[in-house]
Amino acid sequence: MDKNRTVALIVAAGSGSRMGGGIPKQYRKVAGVPVIARAVDALASHPAIDAVHVVIGAGQEAQLSEALGERVATSSSGGATRRESVRAGLEAIGDAGRVLIHDAARPFLPPAVIDRLLAALEDKAGAIPTLSMVDTLVRADGGVLGDNVPREGLARVQTPQAFRFDTILAAHRDWSGDAEPTDDAQVARAAGHTVLAVPGDIMLEKLTHEADFAAAEARLGAIMTSRVGMGYDVHAFAEGDHIMLCGLKIPHSHKLAGHSDADVGLHAITDALLGTIADGDIGSHFPPSDARWKGADSGAFLQHAASLVSARGGIIDHVDLTIICEAPKIGPHRQAMRERIAELLALSINRVSVKATTTEQLGFTGRREGMAAQAVASVRLPVE
């Protein structure tokens, strides 16, 4: 590392005890994306940040790797307290010009906050984001109200906290306070450094209690945009005794011909989902020229499209499929089809619609030469 580099240090070695059990909160998903991945994305995508280092709990390497997928970040092990984890992370980074120390539990980090922190760091050893107090403050030990606390001059402290690297590393090495510091500004100030406060952001709220996850999803929803994608597919009938349709094996006088299992319904929904993120079509992801997809289960194509939506932070709201054929009759299978699609997409069944129509014996479907399907998918995606 050299002195011109700016490194983000994300502490993710906590156990989330206030969350109340289950997998550590940093590995849980908000709107389909792991909390830690959102924190890494927010920092790694800022043009001033050169590298991201994550401090994790003992034995969490595989969990981190699964949560981050293709994202690039170095990692090392943390300690028993947040302070120890930060210190361990700084030692692992070794050297840099500036460091932004961030809680993994704060997944939504607007780039403007980073801009403000780095601008403030030009003059001082450290800068942190804060929010002013908007509520009345009062002591309430044991549930009984005591004296009010004047809120003027008080602020709520967030992360990331930005420091000159050498300054904060030395301050952590020198720390000898009695009470455990809850943030790094306290460590810097104890070493005699001035730390500036810049405006934080409500999006930066920490996920501390179970209810914070629902609130985060709701807050995220407010900055999401709706997208609709459509898909259309056709397969010809050929000699056979069943078709694959919406993931079900349905007895029929013919099969549907195709390179994969020719599931015309799942193909239409797959293309509709890819349409919502403008990411090509089923043929560009699974080319018929590729032997790997010969006879493939189209459920895998659908799940891949859903994972691409999820990787963009998207939430699938609804899929609506229309199957176009004279036979077989779809009605008797409709409920099972909806259940299978809902299962593949991890959606509740009331978000999956399957309809059918004939073409009154007109055209290729009317002549029973093949089947067609069209689908519409609606998703919510983070505003770009």
Ligand X SMILES: Nc1ccn([C@@H]2O[C@H](COP(=O)(O)OP(=O)(O)OP(=O)(O)O)[C@@H](O)[C@H]2O)c(=O)n1
Q: Residues comprising the binding site?
A: 233-235, 259-260, 267, 281-283, 357-360, 364, 367
Which residue in the block uniquely carries the two structure tokens 């390179």? 259
Residue 13 beta carbon to ligand LQXTBERG: minimum distance, rounded to whole angstroms: 11
Whole-number Å distance between alpha carbons of 382 and 222: 9
Calpha distance 12→8 (Å, rounded): 13
Under rule CB under 6 A, residue 26 binds ligand LQXTBERG: no
**182 interacts with ligand LQXTBERG by CB under 6 A:** yes
Task: List C-alpha distances in Å: 111 to 44, 54, 118.
Answer: 10, 19, 11
Structure tokens at 332: 């008797």
**Residues with Cβ < 8 Å from 384, sequence gap 6 or more?**
none
Identify residues 179-238 at the interface with ligand X (CB under 6 A): 206, 208
53-82 footprint of ligand LQXTBERG as x/- string (CB under 6 A): -----------------------------x
Residue range at the interface with ligand LQXTBERG (CB under 6 A); choices 42-50, 61-69, 151-159, 324-332: 151-159
Applying CB under 6 A, which of residues 103, 212, 233, 261 lies at the interface with ligand LQXTBERG? 103
Strands (DSSP E) contained in 295-361 are 315-324, 352-357
Q: Least distance from C-beta 169 to ligand LQXTBERG, angstroms? A: 17
304's contact among ligand X, ligand LQXTBERG, none, with CB below 5 to 8 A by partner kind, is: none
Residue with Cβ nearer ligand LQXTBERG (183 or 263): 183
Binding to ligand LQXTBERG in span 187-226, by CB under 6 A: 206
Token representation of residue 352: 């999956």
CB of 104 or CB of 196, closer to ligand X: 104
Question: Cβ closer to ligand LQXTBERG: 103 or 263?
Answer: 103
Smallest distance from ligand X to CB 124, Å: 24
The annotated binding site for a divalent metal cation is made up of 233, 235, 267
Stretch that binds ligand X, among 67-75, 97-105, 115-123, 347-355 (CB under 6 A): 97-105
Angle made by CA atoms 259, 262, 264, in degrees to the nearest 5: 140
Complex with ligand X: residue 81 or 130, whichever CB lies closer:
81
d(CA 239, CA 77): 60
**What is the three-class DSSP state of 186?**
helix
303-306 LR contacts (CB < 8 Å, sep 24+): 303/344, 303/345, 304/270, 305/269, 305/270, 305/271, 305/273, 305/274, 306/273, 306/344, 306/345, 306/346
- Name the minimum Å distance from CB 185 to ligand X: 14
Tell how far CA 75 is from the center of its chain. Answer: 20
Q: H or E element: which one contains 371?
A: strand 370-382
Measured distance CA(262)–CA(370) in Å, rounded: 11
Determine, following the binding rule CB under 6 A, whether residue 11 of this chain makes contact with ligand X: yes
Binding partner of residue 80 among ligand LQXTBERG, ligand X, none, CB cut-off 5 to 8 Å per kind: ligand X
The three-class DSSP label of residue 7 is strand
Q: Which stretch binds ligand LQXTBERG (CB under 6 A): 152-160, 236-244, 249-257, 262-270?
A: 152-160
DSSP state of 181: P
Which stretches of the chain bind ligand LQXTBERG, using CB under 6 A?
A: 82, 103, 157-159, 182-183, 206
By the criterion CB under 6 A, which residues form the site for ligand X?
11-18, 26, 55, 78-82, 85, 103-105, 206, 208
